[in-house]
């Protein structure tokens, strides 16, 4: 079954929602964003989280020591990077699970995936001035015919309750990642989150 990540938790209400609805992963944003949280705030939220839900930290071109400190403080299960991080940078975190975000707008962008053969890859829309969380989908047909290890693909970018089943059918990713698609007025919306998760779990696998 396709795994689910809900990104951008900020409030105790968000934790209550995910504890009830049980996505597989949640994301805390430590990069510049309207959803940014401090390490202390994330640690407090994480302390109330169902332990079965894995915690992902989102970073952009951050100092590795800062990443390690936050990962220990929260603590984080997975590190997700949205900047220009090199394979060597990612390898510096040893056996920590890494997700590398790649912005996709053209077939040529898919070629970047070969640089990161060991990592789970989060495919997101390429939007000028944004490092994820834009709410914009990319053309999923770009992936058709590509030689991809679908077991390493997390699909992001503009997913919502109305399009996620179609996205899963077209891309067959390991997981889907949602943030703005389950928000109303910039905050997580319980009903949208519930519907999104139901749509994923009912989608043909």
State the catalytic residues: 7, 124
Cα 122 from Cα 134, distance rounded (Å): 14
Cα 121 from Cα 155, distance rounded (Å): 8
Cα 46 from Cα 139, distance rounded (Å): 34
> What six digits make up the tokens of 114?
């070969």
């Amino acid at each position: 079954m396709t795994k689910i990540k809900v990104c951008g938790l900020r409030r105790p209400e968000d934790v209550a929602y995910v504890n009830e609805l049980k996505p597989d992963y949640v994301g805390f944003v430590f990069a510049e964003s309207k959803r940014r949280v401090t390490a202390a705030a994330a640690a407090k939220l994480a302390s109330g989280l169902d332990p079965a839900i894995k915690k992902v930290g989102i970073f952009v071109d951050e100092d590795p020591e800062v990443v390690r400190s936050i990962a220990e403080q929260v603590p984080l299960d997975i590190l997700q990077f949205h900047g220009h991080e090199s394979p060597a940078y990612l390898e510096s975190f040893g056996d920590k699970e890494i997700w590398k975000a790649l912005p996709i707008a053209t077939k040529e962008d898919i070629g970047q995936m070969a640089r990161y053969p060991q990592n789970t890859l989060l495919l997101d829309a390429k939007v000028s001035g944004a490092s994820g969380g834009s709410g914009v989908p990319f053309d999923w047909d770009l992936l058709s015919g590509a030689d991809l290890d679908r077991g390493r693909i997390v699909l992001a970018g503009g997913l919502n309750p109305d399009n996620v089943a179609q996205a899963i059918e077209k891309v067959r990713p390991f997981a889907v990642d949602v943030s703005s698609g389950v928000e109303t007025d910039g905050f997580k919306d319980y009903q949208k989150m519930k519907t999104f998760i139901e749509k994923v779990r009912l989608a043909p696998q």
